[in-house]
Amino acid sequence: MRSAMQTFLYLISDEELTVASVVVVGTQWGDEGKGKIVDLLTGHADCIVRFQGGNNAGHTLVVEGKKYVFHIIPSGILYENKLCMIGNGVIVDPAVLLAEMDELRSKGLPVTPARLLISENAHLIMPYHCQLDQAREAALSSGKKIGTTGRGIGPCYMDKVGRVGIKAGDLLDFGQFLDKLQANVEEKNFFLTKQFNAAPASFDEIKAQFEGHAERLTPFIGNVSVALDQARKADKNILFEGAQGTQLDIDHGTYPFVTSSNTVAGNACIGSGFGPAHIDEVIGILKAYTTRVGAGPFPSELPEGDSVGDELQRKGGEFGATTGRRRRCGWLDMVVANDAVRLNGLTGLAITKLDVLSGQAKLKIGRSYTVEGKKFEQMPANIRQAALAKPVYEEIDGWSEDISQVRSFEELPQQAQDYIRRIEDITGVAPIIVSVGPDRAETLLLRNPFVK
């Protein structure tokens, strides 16, 4: 697969390569196309690290016409001779992880301990977490539902901060695992049966299930922080990938319509055990328009039935990689983009799905919001105000040409170039990658963050 990468990346000599640690994050509400960008940059990395989130997020890649969807394993696994790591900030559903490994094996890509390392401090999503997640969401009235995926993410993070969670390292000491499991099942069953009138979790069933998980996963479990430090000292290039997007951050997003972890770049260090002084670049993935899955404020949303919104949804294939839910679509929101620039300290932008905008005569860019007569240039922290925010747009010319075969910035229609330059003007951050189609080859690399 590496040869396919070399067909469209310019060749880089060993002398030009500079040792670097690069973080890739989403700038919107997730689904920006991080998987594809990580896949591209993986060609120049030695280690690829997932640092937060769980299997409530998905990365979709199309390589040589083949589609791959990852939920836990870093998308760099498609490359040979790369070490992928799952950091302590990730919460792992062992059944989902093992299913991904089995699927890759069926496609001729076996995952071995030499290619994948799981942090001993990563917490495990247990069956009762999924039961609680679904029971809590079902108990909420329609106007108060969060839009959770029901995959146990919130309850698992709650156990983590409540200091009762079960970690991957506990599988190495199964007696300790069972002690924790017994205490948790007793507590969770109280809430499941008494508060939510739901079926209880079964200790015996979970024990049997995790005996099998432990047997398969223990060879992969170790100290990711130490491995990363050794890689850095050995002059290895390290790529950190996050899940979801900046506006889904538990602290800085549109709370409570967020995920349960920190999605911003600062968590790359916390979620992997890597010192912040060693980060060299932070690349923000910015979809050329804006989408959101599930509930929550979305100021630039085009309502379902709007011709432009429906066209973006259709052409962009905007369905969640994890849930299959229809993504809400809207114009590019630069308030959201500038929030991401500030919160992540972005040093470069990767603009994705530019090709989806082809055929639009006019394009709108949201520059600010009005909320009850007041101007906002940041997303309001007050969720009621965020829900009332109305974008103030500027309008620029679109283009009609199909750009999927374009392989340099200069070949793009002038209006597409102007659109990209306008994004740079507003954010103050230069685009370094532009995606003009879903396949790995349909990508323009304007600057490589691993090269000086």
Cα gap 263→267, rounded to integer Å = 7
Residue of 44, 59, 123, 213 marked active site: 59
- 28: closest CA among 298, 307, 235, 337? 337
Return the closest-CA partner of residue 332 out of 356, 306, 348, 359.
356
Q: Minimal CA–CA distance to 95: which of 127, 57, 70?
A: 127
Q: Please give the structure tokens belonging to residue 95.
A: 């059944």
CB 288 within 8 Å of CB 27: no
Residue 131, classed as helix, strand or coil, is helix
Instruction: Output the DSSP codes for 354-389.
Output: GGGGTT-SEEEEEEEEEETTEEESS--SSHHHHHH-
Do 295 and 146 contact (CB within 8 A), yes or no? yes
59 is catalytic: yes
The catalytic residue among 31, 133, 333, 355 is: 31
Residues 279, 267: contact at Cβ < 8 Å? no
Would residue 31 show up in a list of annotated catalytic residues for this protein? Answer: yes
418 close to 396: Cβ distance less than 8 angstroms:
yes
Using CA atoms, how far apart are residues 242 and 90, in angstroms rounded to an integer? 9
What is the SS3 assignment for 432?
strand
Active site members: 31, 59
